[in-house]
Amino acid sequence: MSVLFFHVMRYKQTDPENPNNDRFILYKGRAPPILATWIEVDISRFDLLSARKTELDLEGHPTPRLPFVDTATGSLGQGLGAACGMAYTGKYFDKASYRVFCLVGDGESSEGCVWEALAFASHYNLDNLVAIFDVNRLGHSGTLPLEHCMDMYQKRCEAFGWNTFTADGRDVEALCQVFWQATQVKNKPTAIIAKTFKGRGIPSVEDAENWHGKPMPKERADAIIKLIESQIQTNMNLEPKPPIEDAPEVNVTNIEMTCPPSYKIGDKVATRKACGLALAKLGHANDRVIVLDSDTKNSTFSEIFKKEHPERFIECFIAEQNMVSVALGCTTHDRTIAFASTLAAFLTRAFDQIRIGAISQSNINLIGSHCGISIGENSPSQMALEDLAMFRTIPNCTIFYPSDAVSTEHAVFLAASAKGVCYIRTSRPETAVIYSQYENFAIGQAKVIRRSADDKVTVIGAGITLHEVLAAAEDLSNQGISIRVIDLFTVKPLDSATIIANAKSTGGYIITVEDHHPEGGIGEAVCAAVSMEPDIRVCQLAVLGMPRGGQSSELLDMFGISARHIIMAVKFILMN
C-alpha cells in the first residue's frame, strides 16, 4: 500500500473528493487502518485506539462517512464491480486521466460477483483499472483453497482477459516495476497477484491462523512497534504526485422535465415501455444520464435509450449483481445519473449490492419490470412478488409504482433528482392512460382519482391493480355503491396523511389490492401507517401461495386481485 499510495497514485491529500484524483477501493476485510496513511484529514477522526467505536468515523469496515471512502466496504466481493463503474466512467464518459485501483482479498475472490467484474472489465478494455489481489492464504476462519498457488490466480485472471503480473507483496522495487508496467498496457485491465503473509516479521503471528480481526495483546505491542521501527530505512517525507486535472466539470442536479408527457387519456401503453421512452427523453435533458441493463433491454425497453444515446448505454449482460455495483461506481463523485434496469425478479439476487448502495449513500436508480403475476404466460420464476418487501427495507429508498404512462414519465424524472436509492416498479401489460399530460406528481403524494360524498370504502391500488380497482368502482357504481380510489404513486415514502384522511371519511374502511405477496407489500405498509388509528380497518388483497403461468387476466382472478374480487371484498365489508 505504501508503494501504491506514495509512488503510484496521483491525488491531492487535502482534497479527497477532487474528481481528478486516482480512485482507491479497499474491499478486503479488516484493513481500515491502512487508510490512516493515505489522506491528510483531521487526525482526531483517525484515533486508531478508538476505531470501531461510535464516536469515531473509522468503522471496522469503512463507509463514506469518511470523505475519501467512495463505497461502503465489508460485504466482500463487491469492490471490484464498483471499481469497474469508476473506471468505465473515467475512460468513456469523463475521458480523463485518473486511474482506479482496487485491493481484493484472496478470500473474497471466491465470490461469483468478483468474476462477473473481471469479465466486465476485460470486455470493455478498462486499461485504467488495476486490481491488486492480496494473496496471504488465510481467510476468516482457516486456510483458503488455493493458499499460495500464485500461478493458479494468475491463470484464472489471464483466462478472463486480464494482463496479469505476480509479485512479492513485500518487495518495494518489484511492486514499483509491475505498477509501472500496468501503465504501459493498452486495452486490457491489469491484475497484480501479490504474495503476502499476515503478520509478516512478527514472531508466532506471521502466517498463523486465528488472528483475523484481532488486536495485538498490549503486553506485546511495544516490542513489536520497536521491531517495525527498526526496519524503517529512511526519514523521507513521502508525498503523492498531484493529479492530472482533466476531468470535465459536470452537473447532475436540477433535472427538470423539458416538456409535458405526450400521452392522451385512454392511450394503451405498458409502463415498462413508457419507462424506456422516459429514459430516452431524460437523456436529452442531461448528458450525464446513463442506463445499464442486463441483457433485457428488449423487455425493459431500455433499448429505446440505447438507440438515441448509444454512447451512454452500458450492457452488463446476465450479471445483475455486477450491474448494480457498476452503477454504484458510475455515480461516485457525482459523475453520472445512473439507471439500471432488468426484470424485477432478477434484482432479488442483487439485494446485497443494493443494500451496500444505500450504505454507500449512493444515488442509484433501479428499474424492475415484469412485476407480479400480471406478466402472464411466463413461469413463477419471472414474477416479482417479493421486490416491494425487499426495497421497503432499504434505508432512505424511494419506491415508485406508477400506474400509467404519464405517472411513469414523472417517476423517471423525479428519480433522477432524488437522493438515495430509487426503485421504479413497472408492469408488462398495456394499460390505459388515466392522467392528463399536465398532471403534477411528487414523491410521497398519492392521488385520489375517484371520490364522492357517498363513498363507503377507500380502495388503494397501484400499477396494474389500480386499473382493476377502477373497473370495480365502475361496476359498483352501476349497483349504487360508491367507493373512493387512491393511487399510491410512491409506496415509500407512503402518503399516510391522505390515506388516513380518506379512510376516516369513508367509514374507516380500507381495501388494499396489490400484485405482490402480502408479506412486506402495500397492504402491510398501509397497516403500519394506520396502526395508531383505532377506528380504521384494513382488508388486504394480495397474491397468496405459489403462482403459475397463464393469461394475465385469468391469473389476476385466480389469485384474488381482480375487479371481481375487489367487488366481493367491498360487499363483504358493507354487509358486516
Which residues have a catalytic role annotated?
320
Dihedral Cα 370, 374, 377, 378, nearest 10 deg:
30
Cβ contact 444:493 at 8 Å: yes
Cβ contact 492:392 at 8 Å: yes
Closest to 325 measured CA to CA, from 66, 140, 45, 71? 71
DSSP string for residues in 473-542? HHHHHHTT--EEEEE-EEEES--HHHHHHHHHTTTTEEEEE-SS-STTSHHHHHHHHTTT-TT-EEEEE-
Helix (H/G/I), strand (E/B), else coil: 327: helix
Distance CA 291, CA 279 (A): 8
DSSP code at position 92 = I
> Residue with C-alpha cell 409535458?
260
DSSP string for residues in 240-302? PBPPP--PPP--------SS-----TT-EEEHHHHHHHHHHHHHHH-TTEEEEESS-HHHH-T
Closest to 428 measured CA to CA, from 279, 242, 296, 263? 296
- How many Å separate Cα 36 from the centre of its chain? 28
Cβ contact 342:368 at 8 Å: yes
Distance CA 160, CA 397 (A): 35
